[in-house]
Amino acid sequence: SLDIWDPFEGFSAVASVPPSARETTAFATARIDWKETPEAHIFKADLPGLKKEEVKVEVEDGNVLQISGERSKEHEEKNDKWHRVERSCGKFMRRFRLLENAKVDQVKAN
């Protein structure tokens, strides 16, 4: 199934979510584009600050592509004085049911 972005989804509920839960869920909606070319299905994910070793790409159940990972909270020094924190941390996972013509044995990530 294709995920359809709703810019207002969960907007009213965010105020009632505790800050610790917001840290985990804020990164859970990693934005991913999916296009099909004559040669391949291409997924492009916005995962700033993550190293490739921190992202896992796998095929489950024969035709479900799963992209997951985790961004750790930055280490804070005792004398640090933060003015603003907008980058979220936590786990994310996105799943996509691939089309019948996808060659799952040829999945690769870079």
Rounded Cα gap, residues 83 and 85, in angstroms: 7
Q: Confidence class of residue 23 from pLDDT cuts 50, 70 and 90?
A: very low
Higher pLDDT, 76 or 53: 53
Q: Is 96 a member of any domain?
A: yes
Q: Is 79 a member of any domain?
A: no
Q: Is 94 a member of any domain?
A: yes
Question: Within 10 A of 69 (CB to CB), how many other CB atoms are there?
Answer: 20
CB within 8 A of 17, min separation 6: which ones? 25
3-state DSSP assignment of residue 105: helix
Percentage above 70 pLDDT, the chain: 74
Beta pairing class for 55-60 and 41-45: unpaired
Q: Is 98 a member of any domain?
A: yes
Q: Is 3 a member of any domain?
A: no
Q: Is 100 a member of any domain?
A: yes
Q: Is 31 a member of any domain?
A: yes
Q: Is 13 a member of any domain?
A: no
**Amino acid 28: pLDDT:** 54
Q: Confidence class of residue 64 from pLDDT cuts 50, 70 and 90?
A: very high
Report which of 66, 70, 8 is spatially closest to residue 32, judged by C-alpha positions. 66
Please calculate the CA angle 35-39-41 and round it to the nearest 5 degrees.
30
**Containing structural domain, residue 103:** 26-73+86-109
**Amino acid 100: pLDDT:** 83
Q: How many domains does the chain have?
A: 1
CB within 8 A of 14, min separation 6: which ones? 22
CATH of the domain at 104: 2.60.40.790
Rounded Cα gap, residues 28 and 47, in angstroms: 11
